[in-house]
Each structure stands twice: as structure tokens, then as C-alpha cells.
Structure 1
């Protein structure tokens, strides 16, 4: 799968490559080179490809990979076989164009107070109408046109800027919020396209009301926000969960293994080499900055369950 990251790099730089060969001198060079190679080629040789053809080849390969994976998934499904890995591969290949577009937009951010690389790869980006202020009722003003970027750890708001002389787009950095310091309100009264981000800072709380162009776009952003915040929450829980059996702390790491499923929010206890001595009452205690929680379960023999 790592090899496909090269396609992402290519897609990100594709517009620059096309712009480079559109230069008259560069275009003339490759045209003369192609004509020269064609003139010296044998009649049985395949035709010499133009530079434009070579630039299109990676895009054509991506489409071929998608078609091949789709056919493999279809055939495996017909035979009742597991397609999970193939479906993951198909999703990854299909996401390459959108990932490249997201990364390209990040490269256009100006005045960011650090290197853009520290932000990582963007999960989502897009235009919004944004209202900013202290918590309270949204003002009747039209808000501001902003471009919002969502990363694994941050949400960044920028001001779009277009240079009419060069017809180029850029984004001027305005605000950054760490996702572990924000709360998301998914509904705004009277506006089904809007949601709110409450950003807790050291000395105050700021509210950002974001209005998407469509309800579908809004829901897509909310889905990603929920998933990222769930990961933060589960990461906090998983670092501070403690397991007990019959009120005694479980410390034998050879016997017991624990892990958390980030997507489902489930904490799992694995008991190795299970025997009758492992029957009993199990508890899991959790704590993070939001509070404490506890859950419990009894491990019994199936025959004992049938008698109760």
C-alpha cells in the first residue's frame, strides 16, 4: 500500500507539471524531441509518446486499479469470500484524487506561524460562511467567507485571497484550534446547514458558527469531527483504565491483555489460557478529565447460566 503514496505525490504536483510543459520553450523542446525520436524509429516500433501522454499515464493506472479491485471484490462476494482487505484497497485508491486536492489546498496557506508539515495530512477542507464571537446569539450580519481545514489534531480557519493579476488562489491563516479543546454543537436553530465550534482557550471561550453550502457537506464534516473526538476520548480512557477481578487489581500481563477499539468505543480484556479459576466478577474503572466511569461483568460457565 505504501507504493500508492507515490501516486499521491504525483497528483499533488500534477498541476505544476502541466503548467511547466505549457511554457512555450518547454513545449517546443519536447515537441522537437518527440519528432526526432519518431523520425529515427523503425516502422515496427510503437509510436513515440508525447509528454502529455506520459503525464496522463499515472491517472489511467489509478482508474485501472479501481476497475481491477472492483472486479475482484465482485467475484469474491459472489463466492461468499471475505472482501475486507480488497474493499480497504479500493477505498484507498479511490481517495487518492481527493487527498491530493486537500494537500494542494494546504500548500496555499500563508502566514502560518510554523511549518505546514507539522499539521500532517488534511482530512477535509472546504469553504464556509463563518461567524465568530463570544458565546451568545449569532449576529444578523452575513458573516465572513472562510476556508476551513480539518486535521487529525487541529482545525484551522483561513481567509481566502485571490490575486487578480496572476489569477492565483491563497489562504491567509486566521485561527487554529486544537481538537481536544473544542466542543461541537451539531445544530443551530433556524439553519440546518450550520453547526457550532466552541473553542476553550486559557482565558476565554470563543464560538464559531460554520454554515456549509449544503446539509450533506455539513453532515460529512460532523461525521469526521465525531470520529476524531471519539479517538481523543478513547485515547484518554485507554491510558487510565484499570481492571479488577473479585475486587483485586489485575497485574499479570502474561495472563491478561487489554486494548481499546477506537471506532466502536469498546475496551477489551483478553484472558489467556482460560480455566475455572478465571471465573468471577470483573470490573473496569476509567477516568479522564471529564470524569469517572465503571462497568462490570460476571464470567460464569454456560451450564451455570442455564440453571439461573
Structure 2
């Protein structure tokens, strides 16, 4: 029996979600696989936190390779499907730690057994346990990646003052096109957040004003009725986050993304960091696929398109009749 949990993309509300603004997060069809019958080969900090809290009895085997970017293998490398030599090269910032934790919790809960016809596990319990363990291991965080892995689809998430995270299904505007790009650049989310927190302590009024502007854009994205309104709301957020990063000394919006924003704007689209930023994952968002000119500009900036679909189902048992990475 194999359980799989999806990764995620933060579409809107990064940073501002920590101040109570709504965030939009989408599950993507890149899955962590977990097998409760096989011994663990590696134990993540989040899984250790769940064990320490009593939410999990032990770690299990998992495969998170689908949440990594791939590049052509070096000469003599291992052959992939169809004879093409490929190798996993680097982790993508699409929520692998949350997906590993959720898949592990669900795999152990399912193995514990359930009455015939009953759900395989209590999703709300999996969410609560995963959220607590993930925050304990990472020293905080909104938990939107955990919500995406548990519930799937596209969610509107809002953090309450006490730390509870509410998540509800959300419909994006009709005709919205979202393409994912990744680069070899990366920045640790915790390091980015530390710099932003340092700005809040050093210049609280500046921090408040910039996050306020980002929050306004995040709220506008939630109520956007069409592609144009959504793109405009996203652009407002990126403007604010770029200024926030500049003041905090954090590369939230990298120089490469700033250049690609101008190219995308000429197509009536937005080009934005996903999540905490730093350049590893970015989104093209518009009413039509990116042009050849934009794709060329992205390649020139060392960003490659990563094929994935949004709105994937949340954690579930993999159909034994389907291949593991279907």
C-alpha cells in the first residue's frame, strides 16, 4: 500500500499571510510517496517532531524525488524513461517537507486500519498533527503547505491571531494560466523570514506599511473576478515584496524576476516569486501561455519551465493499478 501527498505552490499572500492576510495555495501533481511496510531510509526533522509529540509511532520509507528539478544526466548516467538519461538535481521549493510529513502520518494512520466503508483516515486530525509538528520543526510558519498536502485543490487560507489556520476551497478566475519556472538559485525560507523579522524590529513602520500593501494585494486576489484583476492584484503584491526585500536585505524578488516582470507585463501577465521568494520557483500568471520571447528571456535568466498542474488531490492511497508517479 502506497500513500502519496502533493507538493504546493503559493500563488498569492506570501509573507502577508503571517499578518492575517488571506493566502492562495495550490496543490500540484508532484507527489511524495510513502510506504508504511518499508523501513525508513531517512527521517526528517518534521517527522521527528511528530514522533516526539506522540502523533506518530515511527518513520516510514518515502520517495520525494518527484519534488526535485531534473536535468540531463552526465555522460554514463543512469538511463530514464524512453532511454533519456536524467537525474534528480536539486530540491524545488514546493513544500517537500510538509508533503513528506503528511504522507507519513497518513500512511501510518491507514495502516492502523479503518472500518469497511469508512474514510482511510481523519483528514482534520492529520492536518492538526502535521501543522503542529511542521511548526515545531521549523520554528513557526503559516502552515499553508501542510493544508495543501492534506486537502489538495486550490485553497484560500487565513491565519487567526491564535495560530489556527483556516483553509477553504477557492475557485480561481476562469481562463487563468499559471506556468511554473525554476532556477538553480535558492534561499532558505527561514533565513528570509529572519531578515524580514529583523526589519520589523529595526523599522517597524516601514515593515508595517510594506506588508500592509502586500496584504491589500492578497485580499484583492481573493476577490478577483477575472484574469486582469488577478494579475493586477499579484503585481501589487510583488511591488510590495520587492520593496520589502530591498529594505530587509532579503532577495525576495531577484534581479532575474524583475527583468522577467517587464517582459510578462507586455503580455498582460505577471511574473512573481512563489512563496518566500529567493529565485528558486517563480510563476507566470496571465490569460494565455507565455510567448516564445518570454520563454527565451527566462532561459537567458537560467529559469526553466517545470511542467506541473495545479489543483491536485490531497493525500490519498495510490491506486495499485496505476504507476507510482501517475
Could you tell me the TM-score, scaled by structure 2's length?
0.28
Mark the structure with the bigger radius of gyration.
Answer: 1
Structure with more strand by fraction: 1
Relative contact order (alpha carbons < 8 A, sep ≥ 6): 1 or 2 greater?
A: 2
